């Protein structure tokens, strides 16, 4: 009985410890400014591609991106979802070479591009 109680408390503690959303610590990063600056955008891409050191916000992005892709951004805050949409729209339409480069690393089997095809097609400018 005591063992069951201890195990139950451990499970409860683990459930509480697991955050339901990613940290919102960097939600106030000005994504528009990053997208408009070749220097800033390149810094993020270089970090995500593991070719340079990452500032703290980019490091967090790099750590959470695989999970966000796999789980359809279920743990993203509303602001993170809005920012993700902005980034996808910008990369698909204005920087397709960066989009392809990032896709080659984070989606080498093309599974996410297939899963999110409708969303990607919806943001493409014709």
Is 15 contained in some domain?
no
Q: Which residue has the higher pLDDT, 6 or 37?
A: 37
Structural domain of 96: 20-123
Is 57 contained in some domain?
yes
**pLDDT value at residue 72:** 93
CATH of the domain at 115: 1.10.2080.10
Whether residue 62 has pLDDT greater than 50: yes
Is 74 contained in some domain?
yes
Is 3 contained in some domain?
no
How many CB atoms within 10 Å of residue 126?
3
Site of tokens 């960097």: 26
Cβ-proximal residues to 112 (8 Å cutoff; 6+ apart), any chain: 69, 103, 106
Q: pTM to 2 decimals?
A: 0.79
Is 11 contained in some domain?
no
Is 4 contained in some domain?
no
Whether residue 108 has pLDDT greater than 50: yes
Whether residue 65 has pLDDT greater than 90: yes
- Share of residues in the chain with pLDDT > 90 (%): 73
**pLDDT value at residue 17:** 45
Q: How far apart are CA 59 and CA 45, in angstroms?
A: 11
49-56 — which CB contacts under 8 Å span 24+ positions?
49/101, 49/102, 49/105, 56/26
Mean pLDDT of 5-21: 51
Domain count along the chain: 1
Mean pLDDT of 22-42: 95
Is 7 contained in some domain?
no
């Amino acid at each position: 009985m005591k063992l069951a109680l201890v195990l139950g408390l451990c499970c409860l503690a683990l459930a509480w410890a697991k955050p339901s959303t990613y940290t919102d610590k960097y939600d106030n990063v000005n994504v528009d400014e990053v997208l408009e600056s070749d220097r800033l955008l390149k810094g993020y891409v270089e970090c995500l591609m593991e070719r340079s050191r990452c500032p703290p916000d980019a490091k967090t992005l790099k750590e959470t991106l695989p999970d966000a892709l796999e789980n359809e951004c279920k743990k993203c805050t509303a602001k993170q979802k809005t920012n993700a949409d902005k980034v996808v729209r910008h990369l698909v339409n204005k920087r397709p070479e960066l989009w392809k480069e990032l896709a080659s690393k984070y989606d080498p089997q093309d599974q996410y591009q297939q899963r999110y095809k409708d969303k990607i097609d919806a943001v493409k400018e014709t």
